[in-house]
Amino acid sequence: MQGDIDGVLLNFSPASLTLLNGILAIVMFAIALDLRPADFHALARAPRSLVTGLVSQFVVLPVLTFLFILAVQPRPSIALGLILVAACPGGNISNFITHRAGGNTALSVSMTAVATVAAIVMTPFNIGLWGSLYAPTRQILRETAIDPVMVAVTVFAMLVLPLCLGIALNVTRPAVAARIRRPMQMLSMAIFIGFIALALAANWGFFLAYIGAVAALVIAHNTLALGGGFLTATLARVSPYDRRAITIETGIQNSGLGLILIFAFFHGLGGMAVVAALWGVWHAISGLGLAWLMARSEAAR
């Protein structure tokens, strides 16, 4: 049954995709209500930690992912799912998890924002580059004829535009932003989690059939991402405070964006969708667990 995963398409309607697009945009808008241009000025004056985090996310993680795929040789759709997740910017919960870990939350928020903008170019670039270098995934890319421009437009509409609108509201109407910030963030995450739960329920039999083929790979890949972030930050000699943020930001990927790209450009291809969905669950578990360990080690000092 595992061999069939490359040909299975998930049950996901165009209306559901439109709804997911809107939900992800609301989530990003809610996060942006915490941001002001001044948050980026300090990092512009001392950009080493920010640059280290972006290199970890858009260079180190895709390279490690490609080497991982070469080593384990997963099914083509699973391999492309791992590549796509690694090409996405940081996930929406990374800021909360960094705060729980006692890391540099301002750096984490700034990394999420800058990586979101950079994803317009870097996400389609990394999908195309690493997907084309591995023969089985290159065949899928040829069959789907993914358009990098359309990927960039999707990333802009779902992430960058809401980010800019949220920052603009925080600057021009700070009282309004302060009043709606907390309710918006809680509501948007609740809606997002609820939507993913309904999507899983609609495809529950499929996930049960194939979870065994993917779960171990997702856990190993996420561990590699966290380890890669930690090693990159250590080699760059950033402070432990910043290293926590970089580690978590590298290991928490925007799997919601990944699902949108999978359904929009790959027609809900089975292995890819299962990878993104499991990443969305597992990175929250591993991130919170790591945050607990980091906070405990900091408290013990």
In whole angstroms, give the CA distance from residue 125 to residue 110.
Answer: 22
Q: What is the pLDDT of residue 10?
A: 58
What digits encode the pLDDT tens for the residues 179-234?
888 888 788 777 777 776 776 676 677 777 777 778 899 999 999 999 999 999 99
Q: 2-296 adopts what CATH topology?
A: Na+/H+ antiporter like fold (1.20.1530)
Confidence of residue 83 (pLDDT cuts 50, 70, 90): very high
Q: What is the pLDDT of residue 1?
A: 39
Q: What is the pLDDT of residue 271?
A: 80
What digits encode the pLDDT tens for the residues 40-80?
776 777 789 999 999 999 999 999 999 999 999 998 989 99
Confidence of residue 126 (pLDDT cuts 50, 70, 90): very high
**DSSP letter, residue 90:** B
Q: What is the pLDDT of residue 17?
A: 65
Computed over every residue of the chain, the mean pLDDT equals 83
